Chain A
Amino acid sequence: MSTTATTETKPAAPAIEKIKVKVDGREIEVPKLMPDWTGKLTPTTMIQACELAKTDVPHYCYHPKLPIAGNCRMCLVEFGTPALGPDRKPVLNPDGTAKIAKSPRPAIACATPISPGMEIYNNTPTVKQMREGVLEFLLINHPLDCPICDQAGECKLQEYSVDYGQSASRFAEAKVHKPKAVDLGPRIMLDDERCILCTRCVRFTRDVAGDDKLGIVNRGSYNTIAAYPGTQFDNNYTLNTVDICPVGALTSKDFRFQMRVWFLKETKSLCNSCGTGCNVLVSSREEKMYRYTPRENDAVNGPWMCDAGRLNYKWVGRADRLKDVLMRGAGQGGLVKTTWLTAINDISDKLKRAPAGSVAIVASARQTNEELYLLAKLKANLGALSDSVEHTGEADRLLVSADKNPNTNGARLNGICYTEIGSNLPQIAQGIQSGKIKTLIVFGEDVTTQGIGADLLAKLDTLIVSDILPNATTQLAHYVLPGAAHVEKRGSFTNTKGRVQKFMKAVEAPGDARAEWEFLHDLVHNVTGKNGYVTIEGLFNQMAAEVPGFAGLSWAGLGDTGVTVTI
């Protein structure tokens, strides 16, 4: 494994020629070519130039990761190009600057390429008037549904109405009514009245998801979005259409009428459903999670994520979560509630007295890099065997990885498991069988399903289990240490491509449950006698300094989008 850390996944592209344009009178240099939605270099458009100039051009149908449709007309801007004389030479003003011939007609910024010396006017009275006109037409048939619309608060139509709308409608006729609350698919609800026909959903599902299911039917004012007759809009990426829908036409059934978006606290986190490690925002209110939404990271997931990962958050709030520190009483007693202090001290004493080689560790590749690092320290100190458990599923061509562990590479880099994950498990089982292994530490896995059955576990002197949800292993444990779900703690994962990404804490862990790295720190301190860092930043930086695979990284340096290490 190489130790170089890079922030780029691809080699640096050859230098692209820069051209000068003016946006609202400010001159900026922009590259002549910029990546389009597929990443291919195409001539830079005016909307991209305006974005580089930090000028906001309102738009509905344009999306940087979708093919350009140019149908909403909201991004109309005025522009001018240097005037050319009959000799094809630029005409100059008396002061020596190039004379600008202003285009008599506006152009849509999303589909018009820039040219050298072009001037873009994004803020003129004409532009404002055009946008007001476009918005007025979009609102003609739009129902004033905001009080019952889930999009309210994150709706582009609302936002631009504030900027370019009028307080009263001039439309005196009856609005065209279209189907409401249409069941489009198992996860999507469609309200055709709210739709502004930007076709973002159509383009996404055709060009990105590759499931050409949506289209526009009927004509003129009666245009409606619909799924192909007789079919359901059902693929693993349908909920992305809810994210990109600029209005409340497509809404998520899971999030429908659950909470208004302005109450939600958004925390930068990661999806832990597979090895891809899609960047997400966790929306929560008062320790309750309401949804995941993808967070843009072009090195990992772009602006998308799969439906399965997005909806896989409800287990965090399950009522049967492990909330208490439990310890098996003397003799054949059952599990009784105890305190962290008692349990950690007890476990530390036992581990300190354990002869080398009598301890085995089964960690989980769902744990964070920092936790696996601490476990690796424990392993080194105890001379223990260690491994992790493989979870695999079906991959797809877009985002879903076959590896269902979010941090398999973190476990590998920390030396908890080897290239072939789970190869040590039979050895551990054998060790228990032969009586060599007397203590087993299990983190976040049900080992009874991995060849270490209840009969083997009964042979152990001490079984220390940390988990989030109860399972067959936690029931047999001598010590149960309740852990925290990844949204309840901070940490980092290393995805299948070696991207080290950090995530933040969104909600509190229930009851006595604690982040694993916190009590692992105490345990490592007690057993090894060496103090470590008590903050996640310090711990990560220490890991980066000691583990070659993470060399050169720092917690702060990970940023929001992570850093790629060589696997």
Chain B
Amino acid sequence: MIVDRRPLTFWEKLYLPAIVGGLKVTLKHAYSTLIQRKVVTMEYPEQKWTLPENYRGAPYLVKDQEGSTKCVSCQLCEFVCPPKAIRITPPGASGQKADRANAEKMPKEFEINMLRCIYCGFCQEVCPEEAIFLLKDYSITSTSREELVYNKEKLLALGGEHGGIQKWKHKLEEAKAQENFPVKV
């Protein structure tokens, strides 16, 4: 479909009124910054925005209050991730055991391709272990594409600590309390 361009009105054809209008805006800003000393810009890398509470930045893995990996490699985030940015290598039967008791497993490798990530937050929403969070990082830069595929170590270091209910620990405590009943097989 071709839409015809609206013909110019008389005032628009005159051209000069628009120039005057533009100059008015320029002068207004010149007055407020030069005379009134109002700052409308921010010196970005040195100064940063205060981000809102619900801001969704880069997803990182977090550790629990005892410094153990929370992720159990259930791969739900990998499944739900719309741009397929997450790639988890499960531990396998002979792989490294989870670094907290009773959780049985943790990922052998966990990679997030920050170039692919769209910050949708589905991974955080789906995580049954509260192990991945969208933190407030937004300026992710690097000199190569490879560097922007964050591995497990890096994600854990960036994610920091995020306590929680420690369900596996409580389960173990509950199980230990019942240990001598009934008679062991």
Contact = CB atoms under 8 A, between A and B. Distances in A.
A27 B90 CA distance: 50
Nearest to B170: A174
B104 A181 contact: yes
B93 A254 contact: yes
B72 interface: yes
B185 A218 contact: yes
Contacts of A18: none
Contacts of A177: 171, 174-175, 178
Contact of B104 (A148, A226, A259): A148
A226 B95 CA distance: 26
Contact of A259 (B76, B90, B105, B128): B90
A229 interface: yes
A277 to B, nearest CB: 29
Contacts of A179: 185
Interface string A224-252: 10100100000000000000000000000
Contacts of B79: 260, 262-263
A179 B174 CA distance: 13
A257 B174 contact: no
Contacts of B91: 257
A148 B72 contact: yes
B104 A175 contact: no
B182 A218 contact: yes
B127 to A, nearest CB: 9
Contacts of A380: none
A524 B167 CA distance: 65
B103 interface: yes
Contacts of A148: 72, 74, 103-105
Contacts of A175: 174
B69 interface: no
A197 to B, nearest CB: 15
Interface in B55-84: 72-76, 78-79
Interface residues of B, number: 27
Contact of A152 (B74, B92, B93): B74
A502 to B, nearest CB: 31
Contacts of B75: 259-260, 263
B129 interface: yes
Given A177-B175, A257-B95, A217 B185 contact: yes
Given A148-B103, A256-B93, A257-B95, A224 B72 contact: no
Interface in A156-181: 174-177, 179-181
A247 to B, nearest CB: 16
A148 to B, nearest CB: 5
A226 B184 CA distance: 12
Interface string B158-184: 000000000100010011011000110
Given A147-B128, A177-B174, A177-B178, A253 B103 contact: no
A259 B128 CA distance: 17
Contact of A143 (B129, B171, B177): B171
Contacts of B129: 147
Contact of B93 (A222, A226, A258): A258
B152 to A, nearest CB: 16
Interface in B99-116: 102-105
A28 interface: no
Contacts of A257: 73, 90-93, 95, 104-105
Of B76, B91, B175, the most chain A CB neighbours within 10 A belong to: B175
A229 B183 CA distance: 14
A258 B92 contact: yes
B185 A253 contact: no
Contacts of A41: none
Of B74, B93, B129, the most chain A CB neighbours within 10 A belong to: B93
Interface in A194-237: 217-219, 222, 224, 226, 229
Contacts of B73: 257
A148 B105 CA distance: 7
Nearest to B91: A257
A263 B74 CA distance: 12
A238 to B, nearest CB: 15
Nearest to A217: B185
B10 to A, nearest CB: 66
A458 interface: no
A229 B185 contact: yes
A433 B102 CA distance: 67
Given A174-B174, A177-B175, A224-B185, A146 B128 contact: yes
A260 B93 contact: no
B178 A174 contact: yes
A176 B178 contact: yes
B111 to A, nearest CB: 14
Contacts of B105: 148, 257
Of A176, A219, A256, A259, the most chain B CB neighbours within 10 A belong to: A256
A518 B82 CA distance: 38
Contacts of B104: 148, 180-181, 257
Interface in A118-155: 143-144, 146-148, 152
B79 to A, nearest CB: 6
B173 to A, nearest CB: 10
B96 to A, nearest CB: 10
Contacts of B90: 257-260
Contacts of A260: 74-75, 79, 90
Contacts of B183: 218
Of B74, B76, B104, B129, the most chain A CB neighbours within 10 A belong to: B104
Contacts of B167: 144
Contact of A147 (B72, B78, B178, B185): B72
Contacts of B95: 257
A262 B128 CA distance: 16
Contacts of A181: 104
Nearest to B93: A256
A138 B183 CA distance: 23
Interface string A275-287: 0000000000000
6 smallest CB-CB distances across A and B, nearest first, come from A177-B175, A147-B74, A256-B93, A260-B75, A222-B182, A148-B104
Given A218-B183, A259-B75, A263-B79, 6 more contacts: A146-B128, A148-B104, A148-B105, A181-B104, A224-B185, A253-B93
14 contacts: A143-B171, A144-B167, A147-B129, A148-B72, A148-B74, A148-B103, A174-B178, A219-B182, A229-B185, A257-B91, A257-B92, A257-B95, A259-B75, A262-B79
Interface of B: 72-76, 78-79, 90-93, 95, 102-105, 128-129, 167, 171, 174-175, 177-178, 182-183, 185
